[in-house]
Copies of this chain bind each other. A is one copy, B any other.
Amino acid sequence: MLKVAVVGASGYTGVELIRILVGHPEIEICCVTSRQHEGLPINQVFPSLTGFCELICEPLNVEAISRRADLVFTALPHKSAMEVVPGFLSAGCKVIDLSADYRLNDQNIYEQWYQTHSSPELFDEAVYGLPELYREQLQSARLIANPGCYPTSVILALAPLLEHGLIDPNSLIVDSKSGVSGAGRGVKLGSLYCEANEGFKAYGIASHRHTPEIEQELSGLSGGDIRLNFTPHLLPVNRGILSTCYADMRESKSTQELIDIYHLRYGKERFVRVMPGNQLPNIAYVRGTNFCDIGLVSDQRTGRVIVVSAIDNLVKGAAGQAVQNMNIMCSYSDALGLGIVPTFP
Protein backbone atom coordinates (compact mmCIF):
# COMPACT_ATOMS: atom_id res chain seq x y z
CA MET A 1 0.00 0.00 0.00
CA LEU A 2 1.24 3.43 -0.97
CA LYS A 3 1.01 5.91 1.87
CA VAL A 4 -0.24 9.32 0.80
CA ALA A 5 -0.82 12.60 2.59
CA VAL A 6 -3.39 15.22 1.68
CA VAL A 7 -1.99 18.59 2.60
CA GLY A 8 -4.73 21.23 2.67
CA ALA A 9 -7.60 18.85 3.24
CA SER A 10 -10.33 21.27 4.22
CA GLY A 11 -10.82 22.93 0.85
CA TYR A 12 -13.02 21.58 -1.92
CA THR A 13 -10.01 20.09 -3.70
CA GLY A 14 -8.95 18.45 -0.46
CA VAL A 15 -12.26 16.77 0.25
CA GLU A 16 -12.43 15.68 -3.39
CA LEU A 17 -8.99 14.07 -3.15
CA ILE A 18 -10.14 12.20 -0.07
CA ARG A 19 -13.40 11.15 -1.73
CA ILE A 20 -11.47 9.57 -4.57
CA LEU A 21 -8.56 8.18 -2.56
CA VAL A 22 -10.70 6.28 -0.04
CA GLY A 23 -11.96 4.20 -2.96
CA HIS A 24 -8.50 3.54 -4.39
CA PRO A 25 -7.39 -0.05 -3.85
CA GLU A 26 -3.62 0.52 -3.72
CA ILE A 27 -3.23 3.48 -1.42
CA GLU A 28 -3.79 4.44 2.17
CA ILE A 29 -4.30 7.99 3.35
CA CYS A 30 -1.86 8.35 6.23
CA CYS A 31 -2.41 12.02 7.00
CA VAL A 32 -4.65 14.98 6.29
CA THR A 33 -3.71 18.50 7.25
CA SER A 34 -5.74 21.62 7.96
CA ARG A 35 -4.53 24.58 9.92
CA GLN A 36 -8.03 25.86 10.44
CA HIS A 37 -9.51 22.61 11.69
CA GLU A 38 -6.48 21.17 13.50
CA GLY A 39 -7.51 18.51 15.98
CA LEU A 40 -10.92 17.90 14.42
CA PRO A 41 -11.78 14.67 12.61
CA ILE A 42 -12.06 15.43 8.90
CA ASN A 43 -15.57 13.95 8.87
CA GLN A 44 -16.68 16.66 11.23
CA VAL A 45 -15.47 19.18 8.67
CA PHE A 46 -17.14 17.19 5.89
CA PRO A 47 -19.87 14.94 7.32
CA SER A 48 -20.19 13.36 3.89
CA LEU A 49 -16.96 11.47 4.67
CA THR A 50 -18.35 9.76 7.77
CA GLY A 51 -17.65 6.05 7.51
CA PHE A 52 -14.95 6.58 4.88
CA CYS A 53 -12.29 8.79 6.42
CA GLU A 54 -12.25 9.95 10.00
CA LEU A 55 -8.62 11.00 10.35
CA ILE A 56 -7.78 13.90 12.65
CA CYS A 57 -6.66 17.08 10.88
CA GLU A 58 -3.01 17.74 11.60
CA PRO A 59 -0.94 20.89 11.32
CA LEU A 60 1.30 21.12 8.29
CA ASN A 61 4.59 19.72 9.59
CA VAL A 62 6.75 18.78 6.62
CA GLU A 63 9.15 16.69 8.58
CA ALA A 64 6.54 14.71 10.46
CA ILE A 65 4.51 14.03 7.35
CA SER A 66 7.53 13.06 5.26
CA ARG A 67 8.35 10.28 7.70
CA ARG A 68 4.97 8.67 7.15
CA ALA A 69 4.08 9.45 3.55
CA ASP A 70 5.47 8.12 0.29
CA LEU A 71 3.59 10.67 -1.77
CA VAL A 72 2.12 14.05 -0.91
CA PHE A 73 -0.74 15.89 -2.57
CA THR A 74 -0.35 19.59 -1.87
CA ALA A 75 -3.77 21.23 -2.22
CA LEU A 76 -2.71 24.67 -1.09
CA PRO A 77 -3.02 28.13 -2.64
CA HIS A 78 -0.15 29.21 -4.87
CA LYS A 79 2.72 30.70 -2.83
CA SER A 80 1.78 28.51 0.16
CA ALA A 81 2.65 25.49 -1.94
CA MET A 82 6.17 26.61 -2.79
CA GLU A 83 6.88 26.99 0.91
CA VAL A 84 6.56 23.25 1.51
CA VAL A 85 7.09 21.44 -1.77
CA PRO A 86 10.92 21.61 -1.76
CA GLY A 87 10.96 20.22 1.77
CA PHE A 88 8.81 17.24 0.87
CA LEU A 89 11.02 16.49 -2.14
CA SER A 90 14.22 16.72 -0.08
CA ALA A 91 12.75 14.34 2.43
CA GLY A 92 12.25 11.81 -0.34
CA CYS A 93 8.51 12.17 -0.97
CA LYS A 94 6.99 12.32 -4.38
CA VAL A 95 4.82 15.41 -4.74
CA ILE A 96 1.77 16.19 -6.80
CA ASP A 97 1.18 19.90 -6.40
CA LEU A 98 -2.29 21.17 -7.22
CA SER A 99 -1.35 24.84 -7.04
CA ALA A 100 -0.06 27.01 -9.89
CA ASP A 101 3.46 27.19 -8.47
CA TYR A 102 5.23 24.73 -10.77
CA ARG A 103 3.05 24.83 -13.88
CA LEU A 104 4.84 27.55 -15.80
CA ASN A 105 8.31 26.87 -17.06
CA ASP A 106 9.39 30.49 -17.38
CA GLN A 107 10.16 32.22 -14.10
CA ASN A 108 9.63 35.67 -15.58
CA ILE A 109 6.16 34.85 -16.74
CA TYR A 110 5.35 33.28 -13.38
CA GLU A 111 6.50 36.34 -11.49
CA GLN A 112 4.68 38.67 -13.86
CA TRP A 113 1.31 36.97 -13.29
CA TYR A 114 1.80 35.80 -9.69
CA GLN A 115 4.64 36.97 -7.38
CA THR A 116 8.29 36.19 -6.64
CA HIS A 117 9.12 32.48 -6.75
CA SER A 118 11.32 30.95 -4.07
CA SER A 119 12.28 27.70 -5.79
CA PRO A 120 12.52 28.35 -9.52
CA GLU A 121 15.24 25.70 -9.71
CA LEU A 122 12.42 23.12 -9.67
CA PHE A 123 10.78 24.48 -12.83
CA ASP A 124 12.84 22.24 -15.07
CA GLU A 125 12.14 19.14 -13.10
CA ALA A 126 8.41 19.63 -12.57
CA VAL A 127 6.32 17.78 -15.14
CA TYR A 128 3.05 19.34 -16.28
CA GLY A 129 0.52 16.78 -15.21
CA LEU A 130 -1.67 16.43 -18.27
CA PRO A 131 -1.45 12.70 -19.01
CA GLU A 132 -2.82 13.03 -22.52
CA LEU A 133 0.24 15.15 -23.39
CA TYR A 134 3.00 14.08 -21.02
CA ARG A 135 2.32 10.50 -20.01
CA GLU A 136 5.87 9.36 -20.64
CA GLN A 137 7.56 12.09 -18.62
CA LEU A 138 5.06 11.61 -15.80
CA GLN A 139 6.08 8.00 -15.30
CA SER A 140 9.43 9.01 -13.91
CA ALA A 141 8.50 12.33 -12.34
CA ARG A 142 9.28 13.25 -8.76
CA LEU A 143 7.29 16.50 -8.86
CA ILE A 144 4.13 16.88 -10.86
CA ALA A 145 2.50 20.25 -11.43
CA ASN A 146 -1.16 19.39 -11.67
CA PRO A 147 -2.77 21.57 -14.37
CA GLY A 148 -5.27 24.32 -13.72
CA CYS A 149 -8.93 23.52 -14.22
CA TYR A 150 -9.54 25.93 -17.10
CA PRO A 151 -6.28 24.98 -18.88
CA THR A 152 -7.18 21.29 -18.72
CA SER A 153 -10.48 21.91 -20.46
CA VAL A 154 -8.94 24.19 -23.09
CA ILE A 155 -5.78 22.25 -23.92
CA LEU A 156 -7.62 18.97 -24.39
CA ALA A 157 -10.17 20.75 -26.58
CA LEU A 158 -7.59 22.23 -28.92
CA ALA A 159 -4.60 19.85 -28.91
CA PRO A 160 -5.60 17.76 -31.95
CA LEU A 161 -6.24 20.84 -34.09
CA LEU A 162 -2.92 22.42 -33.19
CA GLU A 163 -0.93 19.21 -33.50
CA HIS A 164 -2.22 18.82 -37.05
CA GLY A 165 -1.81 22.49 -37.92
CA LEU A 166 -5.48 22.70 -38.86
CA ILE A 167 -6.16 26.13 -37.37
CA ASP A 168 -4.66 29.59 -37.34
CA PRO A 169 -3.06 29.83 -33.88
CA ASN A 170 -3.54 33.60 -33.80
CA SER A 171 -7.29 33.32 -34.17
CA LEU A 172 -7.97 31.51 -30.92
CA ILE A 173 -10.79 32.72 -28.67
CA VAL A 174 -11.73 30.75 -25.59
CA ASP A 175 -14.93 31.47 -23.71
CA SER A 176 -15.05 29.41 -20.50
CA LYS A 177 -17.63 29.00 -17.79
CA SER A 178 -16.94 27.52 -14.37
CA GLY A 179 -19.01 26.42 -11.41
CA VAL A 180 -18.59 28.21 -8.10
CA SER A 181 -16.45 25.53 -6.43
CA GLY A 182 -13.66 26.78 -8.69
CA ALA A 183 -13.40 29.77 -6.36
CA GLY A 184 -12.57 27.52 -3.43
CA ARG A 185 -14.02 27.23 0.04
CA GLY A 186 -12.67 30.52 1.32
CA VAL A 187 -15.36 32.81 2.70
CA LYS A 188 -15.59 35.79 0.38
CA LEU A 189 -18.49 37.94 -0.75
CA GLY A 190 -18.48 36.80 -4.38
CA SER A 191 -18.85 33.16 -3.38
CA LEU A 192 -21.99 33.71 -1.31
CA TYR A 193 -25.06 31.86 -2.46
CA CYS A 194 -27.12 34.99 -3.06
CA GLU A 195 -24.33 36.67 -5.03
CA ALA A 196 -23.91 33.78 -7.46
CA ASN A 197 -27.32 32.13 -7.64
CA GLU A 198 -29.53 33.32 -10.50
CA GLY A 199 -26.56 35.39 -11.64
CA PHE A 200 -23.98 35.08 -14.39
CA LYS A 201 -21.04 37.27 -15.23
CA ALA A 202 -17.64 37.33 -16.89
CA TYR A 203 -14.64 38.15 -14.73
CA GLY A 204 -10.91 38.64 -15.14
CA ILE A 205 -11.29 39.48 -18.83
CA ALA A 206 -7.87 39.66 -20.48
CA SER A 207 -6.21 39.22 -17.10
CA HIS A 208 -6.95 35.76 -15.66
CA ARG A 209 -3.90 33.90 -14.39
CA HIS A 210 -4.69 30.76 -16.31
CA THR A 211 -4.00 32.63 -19.55
CA PRO A 212 -0.20 32.18 -19.56
CA GLU A 213 -0.59 28.51 -18.61
CA ILE A 214 -2.92 27.90 -21.54
CA GLU A 215 -0.69 29.86 -23.89
CA GLN A 216 2.43 27.98 -22.77
CA GLU A 217 0.94 24.58 -23.50
CA LEU A 218 -0.82 25.53 -26.74
CA SER A 219 2.34 27.26 -27.97
CA GLY A 220 4.24 24.06 -27.30
CA LEU A 221 1.74 22.13 -29.40
CA SER A 222 1.67 24.57 -32.29
CA GLY A 223 5.38 25.30 -32.40
CA GLY A 224 4.77 29.05 -32.37
CA ASP A 225 4.01 31.74 -29.86
CA ILE A 226 0.30 31.81 -29.17
CA ARG A 227 -1.61 34.72 -27.69
CA LEU A 228 -5.29 34.20 -27.24
CA ASN A 229 -8.32 35.64 -25.57
CA PHE A 230 -9.48 33.70 -22.57
CA THR A 231 -12.65 34.85 -20.81
CA PRO A 232 -13.82 33.03 -17.69
CA HIS A 233 -17.38 33.28 -16.43
CA LEU A 234 -18.99 32.31 -13.14
CA LEU A 235 -21.71 29.72 -13.57
CA PRO A 236 -24.37 29.12 -10.89
CA VAL A 237 -23.65 25.41 -10.39
CA ASN A 238 -21.46 23.63 -7.86
CA ARG A 239 -19.19 21.89 -10.35
CA GLY A 240 -18.22 21.89 -13.95
CA ILE A 241 -16.34 23.82 -16.59
CA LEU A 242 -17.51 24.22 -20.15
CA SER A 243 -15.10 25.83 -22.58
CA THR A 244 -16.28 27.03 -25.98
CA CYS A 245 -13.27 27.52 -28.28
CA TYR A 246 -13.26 29.32 -31.63
CA ALA A 247 -10.58 29.13 -34.30
CA ASP A 248 -10.22 29.90 -38.00
CA MET A 249 -9.66 26.72 -40.00
CA ARG A 250 -6.66 26.74 -42.32
CA GLU A 251 -8.40 24.40 -44.73
CA SER A 252 -12.04 23.45 -44.80
CA LYS A 253 -12.84 20.22 -42.96
CA SER A 254 -16.30 18.82 -42.24
CA THR A 255 -17.51 18.21 -38.72
CA GLN A 256 -17.18 14.47 -39.23
CA GLU A 257 -13.63 14.70 -40.57
CA LEU A 258 -12.62 16.64 -37.49
CA ILE A 259 -14.38 14.24 -35.15
CA ASP A 260 -12.45 11.40 -36.80
CA ILE A 261 -9.20 13.19 -36.09
CA TYR A 262 -10.19 13.58 -32.44
CA HIS A 263 -11.12 9.91 -32.22
CA LEU A 264 -7.73 8.94 -33.55
CA ARG A 265 -5.94 11.27 -31.16
CA TYR A 266 -7.86 10.29 -28.04
CA GLY A 267 -8.94 6.76 -28.91
CA LYS A 268 -6.75 5.18 -26.24
CA GLU A 269 -7.35 7.79 -23.61
CA ARG A 270 -9.72 6.44 -20.97
CA PHE A 271 -10.83 9.88 -19.81
CA VAL A 272 -11.51 11.72 -23.04
CA ARG A 273 -14.88 11.01 -24.63
CA VAL A 274 -15.31 12.42 -28.13
CA MET A 275 -18.99 12.91 -28.84
CA PRO A 276 -20.74 11.97 -32.09
CA GLY A 277 -21.65 14.75 -34.53
CA ASN A 278 -25.21 15.17 -33.32
CA GLN A 279 -24.27 15.61 -29.67
CA LEU A 280 -22.63 18.31 -27.60
CA PRO A 281 -21.06 18.11 -24.14
CA ASN A 282 -22.89 19.08 -20.99
CA ILE A 283 -21.20 19.50 -17.63
CA ALA A 284 -24.02 17.36 -16.21
CA TYR A 285 -22.69 14.32 -18.09
CA VAL A 286 -19.27 14.38 -16.44
CA ARG A 287 -20.25 15.39 -12.90
CA GLY A 288 -18.13 13.74 -10.25
CA THR A 289 -15.90 12.00 -12.79
CA ASN A 290 -12.52 12.33 -14.45
CA PHE A 291 -13.91 12.62 -17.98
CA CYS A 292 -13.35 15.37 -20.46
CA ASP A 293 -16.16 15.27 -23.02
CA ILE A 294 -15.47 16.99 -26.32
CA GLY A 295 -17.84 17.94 -29.14
CA LEU A 296 -17.27 20.13 -32.16
CA VAL A 297 -18.86 21.77 -35.15
CA SER A 298 -17.24 22.95 -38.35
CA ASP A 299 -19.02 26.08 -39.56
CA GLN A 300 -18.68 26.22 -43.35
CA ARG A 301 -20.38 29.64 -43.45
CA THR A 302 -17.61 31.34 -41.50
CA GLY A 303 -14.71 28.97 -41.92
CA ARG A 304 -14.38 28.50 -38.20
CA VAL A 305 -14.38 25.44 -36.02
CA ILE A 306 -16.07 25.57 -32.63
CA VAL A 307 -14.86 23.04 -30.07
CA VAL A 308 -16.70 22.56 -26.79
CA SER A 309 -15.26 20.64 -23.85
CA ALA A 310 -16.75 19.77 -20.49
CA ILE A 311 -15.02 18.63 -17.32
CA ASP A 312 -15.71 18.54 -13.62
CA ASN A 313 -13.39 21.26 -12.35
CA LEU A 314 -12.78 19.39 -9.08
CA VAL A 315 -12.03 16.05 -10.77
CA LYS A 316 -10.37 16.18 -14.19
CA GLY A 317 -9.70 19.83 -13.33
CA ALA A 318 -8.02 19.00 -10.00
CA ALA A 319 -8.27 15.96 -7.71
CA GLY A 320 -9.11 13.31 -10.29
CA GLN A 321 -6.32 14.33 -12.60
CA ALA A 322 -3.98 14.34 -9.59
CA VAL A 323 -4.92 10.73 -8.84
CA GLN A 324 -4.54 9.83 -12.52
CA ASN A 325 -1.06 11.35 -12.34
CA MET A 326 -0.31 9.37 -9.19
CA ASN A 327 -1.41 6.20 -10.98
CA ILE A 328 0.97 6.92 -13.86
CA MET A 329 3.80 7.83 -11.48
CA CYS A 330 3.28 4.53 -9.64
CA SER A 331 2.78 2.39 -12.75
CA TYR A 332 -0.81 1.59 -11.90
CA SER A 333 -3.43 1.67 -14.59
CA ASP A 334 -4.51 5.25 -15.36
CA ALA A 335 -8.05 4.57 -14.24
CA LEU A 336 -7.39 2.76 -10.98
CA GLY A 337 -9.76 4.14 -8.38
CA LEU A 338 -11.23 6.49 -10.96
CA GLY A 339 -13.93 4.27 -12.42
CA ILE A 340 -16.67 6.54 -11.08
CA VAL A 341 -19.83 6.59 -13.19
CA PRO A 342 -21.36 10.05 -13.74
CA THR A 343 -24.38 10.77 -11.58
CA PHE A 344 -27.23 12.09 -13.71
CA PRO A 345 -29.32 13.97 -12.90
Q: Which listed segment binds B: A117-125, A279-287, A325-333?
A: A279-287
CA distance A282 to B46 in the complex (A): 11
User: Measured between alpha carbons, how far is A75 from B299 in the docked complex, in Å?
Assistant: 32
Determine if A8 is an interface residue (Cβ-Cβ < 8 Å): no
Copy count, this protein chain: 4
The contact string, 1 if C-beta is below 8 Å from chain B, for chain A 36-54, is: 0000000010111111100
Residue A27 at the chain B interface, CB threshold 8 Å:
no
A31, B47: Cα distance in complex, Å: 37
A64 within 8 A of B: no
B206–A341 contact, CB under 8 A? Answer: no
Chain B nearest CB from A302 CB (Å) reads 5
**Are A193 and B282 touching (Cβ within 8 A)?**
no
Known: A206-B297, A236-B237. A180 touches B201 (CB 8 A): no
Cβ of A145 to closest chain B Cβ, rounded Å: 24
Min Cβ gap A320→B in Å is 11
Q: Is A191 an interface residue (CB 8 A)?
A: yes
> How long is the Cα–Cα vector from A298 to B345 in the complex, in angstroms?
36
Q: Which one of B280, B284, B339 contacts A202 once the chains associate, using CB atoms below 8 Å?
A: B280
Cβ of A235 < 8 Å from any Cβ of B? yes
Report whether B341 and A302 are in contact in the complex, using a CB–CB cutoff of 8 Å: no
Q: Are B273 and A50 in contact (CB under 8 A)?
A: yes
- Which of A173, A273, A310 gathers the greatest number of chain B CB atoms within 10 Å? A173
Assembled-state Cα–Cα distance A173/B343 (Å): 33
**Shortest beta-carbon distance, A296 to chain B, in Å?**
9
Q: Once bound together, how far apart are the Cα atoms of A302 and B211, in whole Å? A: 12
Closest chain B residue, CB of each to CB of A197:
B238
CA distance A15 to B284 in the complex (A): 14
User: Do the beta carbons of B198 and A198 come within 8 Å of each other?
Assistant: yes
Q: Does A316 contact B (CB under 8 A)?
A: no
Q: Provide the bound-state CA to CA distance between A281 and B203, in Å.
A: 9
Q: Is there contact, CB below 8 Å, between A23 and B205?
A: no
Complex: A244 Cα to B206 Cα, angstroms: 13
A192 in the interface (beta carbon within 8 A):
yes
Q: Answer whether residue A246 sits at the interface, using C-beta atoms and an 8 A cutoff.
A: yes
Contacts of A164 in B (CB 8 A): none
A35 within 8 A of B: no
Instruction: Report if A200 contacts B (CB, 8 A).
Output: yes
**11 pairs from A and B in contact (CB 8 Å cutoff):** A19-B341, A47-B282, A185-B194, A187-B192, A193-B193, A198-B237, A206-B297, A229-B304, A231-B306, A235-B236, A236-B236
Could you list 9 further interchain pairs (A-B, Cβ under 8 angstroms) beyond the known A49-B341, A193-B238, A200-B235? A19-B344, A173-B173, A173-B304, A187-B187, A191-B194, A194-B238, A198-B238, A199-B240, A201-B281
Top-6 shortest CB links A-B: A199-B284, A194-B345, A48-B342, A206-B299, A201-B282, A175-B175
